[in-house]
Structure 1
Amino acid sequence: MPDELLSRLRRFNTDYFPQYQAQFKDLVEQGQHPTTLFIGCSDSRLVPYMLTGAGPGELFLVRNVGAFVPPYDGSAGHHGTAAAIEYAVLALEVQHIVVCGHSHCGGIRALYGEVPNEATNLKAWLDLGREATLPVQLSDEALRRTEERSVVLQLERLMDYPMVRARVEQGRIALHGWHYVIEAGEVHVFDVNKGAFVPASSSEHSGTGPYRAAEPGALFNEIDDAWAPRR
């Protein structure tokens, strides 16, 4: 059986790397200075560099099931996502934090179904998205709404990180909530003033975070009458 991964590694070295060798050399000598922390779902269909047009050294990436952000509790622990957030903000001094969910997300769908008993870590991890679920039977519309609600939930959770909140309030960091619609090839960005996700093709900005000094509290994560359980 051909070793496709080995072939790809060799193509990177012979075909791709020479085009960017000088840039990689500079990134080694000068260090990395990414401007954006990108927290995205691990789904293979979500490709951050394709979405953003970014090149080497521009994005600091965190990938996990569902694009979830763990709560900040102030205690030391072994949590990769939390550590990456702290490193990106405190050491790399990023100017933007993007939380990017997507359509047809298996992690979000799993919130409405069964998880294998062997997947003990996955079960615990999925609890980070429970608050975004709707009290209805799963449908395409409910899944989309839950995916979007989860993105905003993670933005709200980011604001509980002291180093993030301080810099957002100082105007040093901007938060962005994105929902990538795979089948349409378009990202919908969260507009806090409209309380909705807007296609990037018609949006006036790349998304606004959950912080508004005049109106604290949860945003967009509401359960309106239209989603009330049917009797």
Structure 2
Amino acid sequence: MADDEASPGATGLPQALVEGYESFLSGRFLAEHDRFEELAVKGQTPRTMVISCCDSRVAPEAIFNAGPGELFVLRNVAALVPPFEPDDHYHGASAALEYAVMALKVSDVVVLGHGQCGGVRAYAEIAAEPDAPRLSHSDFIGDWIKMLGPAADRLGVPPNPRDSLYVERLEFEAVKQTLRNLRSFPMIQVLEHHRHLRLHGALFRITDGRLFVLDESTGAFNPVCEKAYAAAFAEARF
């Protein structure tokens, strides 16, 4: 984004956002106007919740080609959810989860990790250099990504925490950790036990667009839509 695109326009918003909204009005909003009206009148009834990272390169609606009202999305650093902690602190992730499964009654929750995750890499870098300066005095990110500790413990002590292969392994293991944390919630335990709710782990690799889904019976992440993926790259793109 060029500097002039990021500068506030007459509306006070960045100009790129204003232009994007104009395109939305003349394009997708017109094409899906009936859908938006239905959502406004009847409310949302998504069947799937996606827990994803804040990373701007990983947009669940784009990855899954979802329209308005189809996904209930929670995004935060490294797609993490804390374990069940019923106290008087603020719990944004837990509140979103509670609303999705208890109010909206979604049938599926997908934990979507991704490659080149800055939060996971930050955890590895802190492990390699614990005395390095943080982004701020409060160190909100450092406190948040401590949730990756159990995932890192399962992988064992690496020769070099900054090694790209180790960070990639930790990205996959982080998805499993969030699934573990989700299952610490009594409401999740009950709904999953009665088969009213299904939990899924997945990882999107930015470099090549591959999507991997966790097989919890083996612990392995397997690529999906192999034929479609091969077909998408069968023809020369240049």
Give the TM-score range, shorter chain: 0.7 to 0.9
Unaligned runs of 5+ in 1: 204-231
2:90 maps to 1:78: yes
2:170 maps to 1:146: yes
Separation in structure 2 between the aligned mates of residue 105 and residue 129 of structure 1, nearest angstrom: 13
Of the three residues 102, 108, 115, the one matched with 1:103 is 115
Which residue in the other structure is 1:132 paired with? 151
Structural mapping, 1:55-204, within 5 Å: 55-114=67-126, 115-118=134-137, 120-133=139-152, 134=155, 135-136=157-158, 137=160, 138-201=162-225
**Between 58-67 and 10-19, the greater mean CA deviation after superposition:** 10-19
**Letter matched to residue 121 of structure 1:** F
Separation in structure 2 between the aligned mates of residue 27 and residue 77 of structure 1, nearest angstrom: 33
What do residues 6-36 of structure 1 show as CA deviations (whole Å, max 9, x unaligned)?
A: 1112221222211111001001111100001
Q: Which has the higher helix share?
A: 2
Identity, % of aligned positions:
34
What do residues 160-197 of structure 1 show as CA deviations (whole Å, max 9, x unaligned)?
A: 11111111111111101001111121111000112111
**Letter matched to residue 173 of structure 2:** R
- TM-score scaled by length of structure 2: 0.81
RMSD: 1.6
Of structures 1 and 2, the larger Rg is shown by: 2
**Letter matched to residue 170 of structure 1:** H
TM-superposed CA distance for 1:159, in Å, is: 0.4
**Letter matched to residue 163 of structure 2:** S
- TM-score scaled by length of structure 1: 0.83
Aligned pair count reads 203
